[in-house]
A = this chain, B = another copy of it.
Amino acid sequence: ININSSNMMALAPNNSNKRETVCIFGTGDFGRALGHKMIQCGYPVVYGSRSTQTSNLIPKDAEVLSHAEAAQKSAIIIIAIQRQHYNFLTPLAEILRGKVVVDISNNLKLNQYPESNAEYLAQLLPGARVVKAFNTVSAWALQSGALDASRQVFVCGDDMEAKQMVMNIVRALGLTPLDQGSLLAAQEIENYPLQLFPMWKFPIFLSLGLAAFFFFYCLALDVIYTYIYENNNFSFFIAITIPNRVCPVMALLLLGLVYLPGVLAAIIQLYRGTKYRRFPDWLDKWMLCRKQLGLIALAFASLHAVFTLVSPIRSFVKWRTSKAIISQALNNKTEPLDITNAWLSDSYLALGILGFFFFVLVGITSLPSVSNSVNWREFRFVQSKLGYVTLILCTAHTLIYGGKWFLSPSAYKWYLPNIYMLSLVVPCTVLVVKFVLIFPCVDKPLTQIRQGWERNPKYSE
């Protein structure tokens, strides 16, 4: 009685200590790299090829046979061929019956075909146990050992035993298999290596759009207005002065946008009186890109910090400083220290430094390895509590820095407000609403709603 045939581990590392033979169809780039690596890791490799003459590019210890012969030698066949040539496999369907057939192909475009390559292969070979794997690994990385970006191998397939065998090979090659479920996941796995920061796209385009708007807004008010009405050529403001106005505004605005959806969600929950109804789609999406928004805000804040620190080195600032000093000297007088001014200047600088410090702390915990090593409560503490401290400090920094201009009429060129006033709208709204939400009379029902599953007998046990 062959009991082991029903045991999923039995096939993979079999009774003897030798690794099982692996067959690779296709002697192209990736087929060779994979075969090379497998031979290194102790697998006997046999290539299936149209021309069975051994090229000097094929790993030395590998055998090269015809497709049919090669397939018969092994329980696992890796198809290192492009999808458009898959149809040549049809005559081999009988030989491949019951074998593990690994699809490693990639496409050139997202959703290039109606069905994934692996599903197409499964249709062509109805008896084969098709597994999708290895498509996220690059041939170059496999050969050079520089597997920085592609150590993870997504695996999917309908046959558990077949999938397990492939995952064992993946592990033996020093890579990390990630089981993605049934062959239905193949489409997503084939799209994965074609993606380019999908979670970042919206936040980055939003930020670039807003930054461009604020840049031209500042350009109009600070350069063009000054040129028209005061006849001063401050065109060089484009390089540093205006970026250093746009960056803090963007940082504060985006930081506000990180905490706004949480506040909106609380209001929606309070209004509905339940947490069990789904949020609107836009809110869900917004909540899922908060991390990206926050990191972009941190980037703008860092640029703002450097732009500010660099200012004493700027030729224009040096000229302005010496002009002020010389005019005092020529007037033979020394201005006394203005304590209020010293207080304002020092306190907005100190608030900005502290805000930036906490911002960086929160940013560091967004690094995957750091966030993986803290528990959920710690992660929430940093992202929520420290995040709000950052928001409060940065808002206070902006308020103190620009408070004097709220009342000054010269701040309203062309009846338009200064951009730092615009930047304060979102963070101040968030802080005010959040302040209301932590009042006991609001916080208590909200907490009850959030623990609703325990209190409401309809939904819990």
Contact = CB atoms under 8 A, between A and B. Distances in A.
A198 to B, nearest CB: 10
18 contacts: A6-B10, A9-B9, A13-B164, A26-B460, A27-B459, A28-B453, A174-B178, A194-B377, A195-B375, A195-B378, A236-B342, A239-B343, A239-B347, A302-B357, A306-B357, A310-B349, A315-B345, A329-B330
Contact of A311 (B3, B25, B150, B313): B313
A322 to B, nearest CB: 5
Contact of A371 (B148, B240, B344): B148
A461 B26 contact: yes
A196 B381 contact: yes
Interface residues of A, number: 139
Contacts of A161: 13, 17
Number of copies: 3
B192 A181 contact: no
Contacts of A69: none
Interface stretch (A120-128, A152-160, A215-223, A405-413): A152-160
A338 B85 CA distance: 68
Interface stretch (A70-78, A96-104, A138-146): A138-146
Interface string A368-386: 1111111111111100000
Contacts of A138: 376
Interface in A375-420: 375-381
A343 to B, nearest CB: 4
A267 interface: no
Given A9-B8, A50-B461, A334 B323 contact: yes
A325 to B, nearest CB: 5
Given A41-B181, A313-B349, A376 B150 contact: yes
B149 A378 contact: yes
Nearest to A43: B181
Contacts of A81: 461
A327 interface: yes
A169 to B, nearest CB: 11
Given A26-B461, A42-B182, A15 B6 contact: yes
Given A149-B379, A303-B353, A318-B321, 10 more contacts: A7-B9, A7-B10, A29-B459, A172-B181, A193-B375, A197-B374, A236-B342, A236-B346, A310-B353, A316-B337
A49 interface: yes
B13 A375 contact: no
Contacts of A441: none
A341 B428 CA distance: 40
A149 B323 CA distance: 55
Contact of A377 (B196, B303, B305): B196
Contacts of A10: 6-7
Contact of A315 (B50, B291, B346): B346
Contacts of A30: 453
A350 interface: yes
B346 A306 contact: no
A328 B322 contact: yes
5 pairs of A and B residues whose beta carbons are closest in the complex = A149-B379, A369-B369, A315-B345, A239-B346, A29-B453
A108 to B, nearest CB: 10
Nearest to A198: B378
A82 interface: yes
Nearest to A354: B303
Interface in A173-201: 174, 178-182, 192-197
A4 interface: yes
